[in-house]
Amino acid sequence: MRKGDMAIILPGAVLFLAAAVVVALVSGSAGIPLRRVFSIIAAGNVTPEYSILVDIRLPRIILGFAVGGALSVAGVILQGMFRNPLVEPYTLGISGGGALGAALCIILKLQNVFPVIALPASGFIGSCLVVLPLYFVNMRRNVVRMQGILLTGVMTSFISSSLVVLILAVSRTEELHSIVFWIMGSLDEPNSTLIMIAGIIAVLGLCQAYILAPVLNALSLGEEEAVHLGIDTERTRKRLFILASLLTGISVSLTGIIGFVGLIVPHFVRILTGYDHRKLVVISFLTGAGFLILCDAIARTVFAPVELPVGVITGIVGGCVFIYILGRRPLRGYQGGAE
């Protein structure tokens, strides 16, 4: 296969996503054969099996599609902006801010007052409270200092993590369990409206990222080359930074911290597609969605009926795959541009 051959890679990514969806539909403590899945859904009769498929598994698949795709696209954007394949959405401290917001929500029992939106809203607000200072602190005369954003983000992440540990240290047992489980990540979101909002934002974010893909190609060549191509680099960086932050923030607010998706998926897909972001954005979205859906199916079944946090599975699988890739292909500096 020729590197970057979309006639093979794109159908392969779609098939991988479809296979992950099928596995997620049939997997679980209540085994439902594949040959009966679609007939049960099509019949529309309210039976226990129908409720399991439509009310439990299908919403998780949709949320996994949205969050896996969003985190992967955010990873592509940030790695292209910083020209560093080791940057991921959580590097900027967005996850730490979301975790801090969620921990405060649980400690203050805000979910008892606003049972549906308290936890995701707190996570999103916490992410925003990290992103906004991160952005404005590194603005100097309308110029965004990229390395400053990266370093400030890492330090902000450490500070947020320390505050979360402090909250854990003074929490009661039931609060401690809720905070730890949220931090590890889960696709168990009961509100269908929030799931649909996440899906819409993820697809719109994909479209916007695809529009900006040629600009990312230019930025990957270096700032001087991008300026020579007539690109307003500062304005473009602001748009890309806001887009990546929004995709990450909405993901963290609904599912907690699910690591490695925004790091390993773009890195793996880049090996197949090359450095052309027009290909990289689309394939990363599809692959990231399939990867998270598949990891969630594993998390639900490996110790069924006990459900593991999906972040544990993504960390184990993603870490092993990343180490394997590094063993076969030494990590190199980011090389931009369409090939």
> Which 3 state secondary structure label does DSSP give 143?
strand
Dist CA 41 CA 39 (whole Å)? 5
Tokens of 321: 């795959």
**What pLDDT was estimated at residue 284?**
96
**What pLDDT was estimated at residue 17?**
96
What Cα–Cα distance (Å) separates residue 34 from each residue in 27, 39, 40? Answer: 10, 9, 10
Provide mean pLDDT across the span 323-334: 66
Q: What tens digit of pLDDT does each residue of 223-263 get? A: 777 677 777 777 888 888 889 989 998 999 899 889 889 88
Of residues 188 and 329, the one with the higher pLDDT is: 188
Place of tokens 């240290």: 169
**What pLDDT was estimated at residue 298?**
92
Dist CA 316 CA 322 (whole Å)? 10
Q: For 6-328, which CATH superfamily applies?
A: ABC transporter involved in vitamin B12 uptake, BtuC (1.10.3470.10)
User: Does 334 have pLDDT greater than 60?
Assistant: no
What Cα–Cα distance (Å) separates residue 238 from each residue in 75, 92, 144? Answer: 16, 14, 8
* Selection from 233, 194, 216 nearest residue 73 by Cα: 216
Chain centre to alpha carbon of residue 69: 6
Could you give the percent of the chain with pLDDT greater than 90? 28
Dist CA 90 CA 154 (whole Å)? 9
**What pLDDT was estimated at residue 290?**
96
Of residues 316 and 328, the one with the higher pLDDT is: 316
What Cα–Cα distance (Å) separates residue 213 from each residue in 54, 123, 138, 170, 275? Answer: 36, 29, 24, 46, 11
* Selection from 272, 280, 315, 324 nearest residue 295 by Cα: 315
User: Does 142 have pLDDT greater than 70?
Assistant: no
CB 135 within 8 A of CB 160: no
List phi, psi (to 5°) of 142: 65, 20
**What pLDDT was estimated at residue 139?**
66
First to last CA, the chain: 15
Given pLDDT bands bounded at 50, 70 and 90, which one contains residue 335?
low
Residue 40: CA count within 13 A, CB half-sphere: 19
Which pairs count as long-range contacts for 85-90, CB under 8 Å and 24+ apart, including other chains?
85/266, 85/267, 85/270, 85/331, 85/334, 86/263, 86/331, 87/150, 88/259, 88/260, 88/262, 88/263, 89/244, 89/247, 89/248, 89/251, 89/262, 90/157, 90/248, 90/257, 90/259, 90/262
**What pLDDT was estimated at residue 209?**
95
DSSP assignment of 85-139 equals TT--GGGGTHHHHHHHHHHHHHHHTGGGTSTTTHHHHHHHHHHHHHHHHHHHHTE
User: Does 123 have pLDDT greater than 60?
Assistant: yes
Write the single-letter amino acid at 152: T
Q: What tens digit of pLDDT does each residue of 29-77 get? A: 777 777 788 888 877 777 888 888 888 889 999 999 999 999 999 999 9
Q: Identify whether 133 is preceded by a cis peptide bond (ω within 30 of 0).
A: no
User: Does 337 have pLDDT greater than 70?
Assistant: no
CB 280 within 8 A of CB 114: no
Q: To the nearest whole number, what is the mean pLDDT of the chain?
A: 84
Q: What residues contact residue 274 under an 8 Å CB cut-off, 6+ apart? A: 3, 4, 280, 338, 339
Given pLDDT bands bounded at 50, 70 and 90, which one contains residue 338?
very low
**What pLDDT was estimated at residue 16?**
96
- Measured in residues, the chain has a length of 339
Dmax (CA) of the chain: 63
Beta strands 143-144 and 139-140, pairing class? antiparallel
| Whole-prediction pTM | 0.89
Dist CA 90 CA 195 (whole Å)? 21
* Selection from 102, 159, 107 nearest residue 133 by Cα: 159
Provide mean pLDDT across the span 94-104: 88
**What pLDDT was estimated at residue 21?**
94
Of 135-149, 216-230, 278-292, the least confident: 135-149
Could you give the percent of the chain with pLDDT greater than 70? 92
Of residues 3 and 201, the one with the higher pLDDT is: 201
Tokens of 197: 């909002």
**What pLDDT was estimated at residue 286?**
96
Given pLDDT bands bounded at 50, 70 and 90, which one contains residue 143?
low
